[in-house]
Structure 1
Amino acid sequence: MKKLLFTMIAGALMISCNQNKKEQEEIAKDPNLEIHEKIAMANGFEEFDSINKLKFTFNVKVNDTLRSERRWTWNIKSDKISLTEKDSTMSYTKKDSLAKDKEYIDQRFVNDSYWLLFPYQLKWSNADFSEAKTAKAPISGDEMQMLTVSFPSEGGYTPGDSYDIYFDDEFMIQEWVYKASGGGREMATTWEDYEDFDGVKISKMHKSEDGNFELYFTDIYVE
């Protein structure tokens, strides 16, 4: 019985892997998709529309000290968002115009959800994109495809920021470099520990080269 169960599980995993590989090949060959769209699609962009609720905890650790731990619940259809931080819960409904007392939670949600779902921002946002080229990734030193994503100099909480994203042959981001507007701060991190949540693929861990900075997600739940 145990042998039969193992065989069934192994067979299901093989079917899932083969299906995923086929989907990745179809995305790669689609002449109607631009590179940034292929990255979004490879991460399950089309599956996101079927989700009603998304929960996640955003964590930042610096030198083994936990600096941030924010627990989010996002009711996607109504755009009601709740933040639990230090045993306090705040909620708001995302709109074009926000009251001043809601900006605190909105700023943090924008930041945390960008890290969580950045590949989808390539479709959602009004960013500009460079031509893709082969370049050496900043942390691993591996040669990958690189695309620069630049956001407008006006609007949003961090106007003018840009990202160099390094992705593999399956259009999954492996590393990136964040560049603050005005030639200021830069930060390179990995994109690793991907997990598939009902078709939505999320990188759960981001690390700096020296490992002293970790930004990671826990308690991810979709329905």
Structure 2
Amino acid sequence: MRKLITLIMLSLAIISCNQEKKKKEEVAKDPNLEVHEKIAMANGFEKFDSISQIKFTFNVKVNDSLRAQRRWVWNTTTDKISLTEKDSTMSYTKKDSLAEDKKYIDRRFVNDSYWLLFPYQLKWSDAKLSEVKKAKAPISEKEMSMMTVSYPSEGGYTPGDSYDIYFDDDYMIREWVYKSSDGKRESPSTWEDYKDFDGIKIATMHKSKDGSFELYFSDVSIEE
């Protein structure tokens, strides 16, 4: 009986892998999708509308010292967002105009959720997208497809910033380089440890080349 159960589980895993492979191939070959849309779709963008709530913890570690840890609960239906930080919980509802005391939370939520769901921002935001070219990734030094994502010089919390994103043939981002608008800062980091939450794919770990910087997500849960 145990062998039968194991065989069934193995068969289901193979079927799931085959379905996932087929889906990736369909996305990659779809002539109706532009590159940025293929990246979003490869990460499960089409599943987002069925989500009712996302929970995640945003962590930043520098040289083995935990510099930031923020726990978020985002009700995507009502846009109510709660932040727990240092044993204090604050909430707000995301809308066009925010009171000054809510901007503290919103600024951090925009940053943290941007890292969490950046592939979806390629569909949601008004970023300017460059042509795709082949380039050597800054950390792995592997040749990948590269596209620059640039934001307007006005509006938002970090106007004028840009990102060079490096992605593979499956349209999954593997590395990126953040560039500040003043040109004084460039920060390359990895996109790794992807986890699949019922079709929503999230890179849960981002590291600098020397490993001294880690930005990672823990306690991620997604509810429909």
Q: TM-score, normalised by structure 1?
A: 0.99
CA displacement at 1:152 relative to structure 2? 0.7
In 1, distance between residues paired with 2:4 and 2:175? 40
Secondary structure at 2:50 match in 1: coil
CA displacement at 1:77 relative to structure 2? 0.4
User: In structure 2, what is the equivalent of residue 202 of structure 1?
Assistant: 202
Secondary structure at 2:144 match in 1: strand
CA displacement at 1:10 relative to structure 2? 1.1
User: In structure 2, what is the equivalent of residue 175 of structure 1?
Assistant: 175
In 1, distance between residues paired with 2:130 and 2:149? 7
Code of the residue aligned with 1:146 in structure 2: it is M
Code of the residue aligned with 1:156 in structure 2: it is G
Code of the residue aligned with 1:113 in structure 2: it is S
Code of the residue aligned with 1:84 in structure 2: it is T
User: In structure 2, what is the equivalent of residue 8 of structure 1?
Assistant: 8
In 2, distance between residues paired with 1:206 and 1:31? 31
Secondary structure at 2:89 match in 1: strand
CA displacement at 1:6 relative to structure 2? 1.4
User: In structure 2, what is the equivalent of residue 157 of structure 1?
Assistant: 157
CA displacement at 1:213 relative to structure 2? 0.2
CA displacement at 1:187 relative to structure 2? 0.3
Secondary structure at 1:49 match in 2: helix
CA displacement at 1:7 relative to structure 2? 1.0
In 1, distance between residues paired with 2:99 and 2:26? 44
Deviation readout 1:64-123 (Å, 9 max, x if unpaired):
000001000000000000000000000000000000000000000000000000000000
In 1, distance between residues paired with 2:8 and 2:155? 52
User: In structure 1, what is the equivalent of residue 166 of structure 2?
Assistant: 166
User: In structure 2, what is the equivalent of residue 37 of structure 1?
Assistant: 37
The percent of aligned pairs where both chains have the same amino acid is 74
Task: After TM superposition, list the pairs within 5 Å mapping 1:50-199 onto structure 2.
Answer: 50-199=50-199
Deviation readout 1:1-59 (Å, 9 max, x if unpaired):
22112111111111111111111111111111110110000000000110000000000
Deviation readout 1:163-196 (Å, 9 max, x if unpaired):
0000010000000000010212110000000011
Structure 2 alignment gaps of length 5 or more: none
In 2, distance between residues paired with 1:37 and 1:214? 28
Code of the residue aligned with 1:85 in structure 2: it is E
Q: TM-score, normalised by structure 2?
A: 0.99
CA displacement at 1:137 relative to structure 2? 0.4
Structure 1 alignment gaps of length 5 or more: none
* Aligned-residue CA RMSD (Å): 0.5
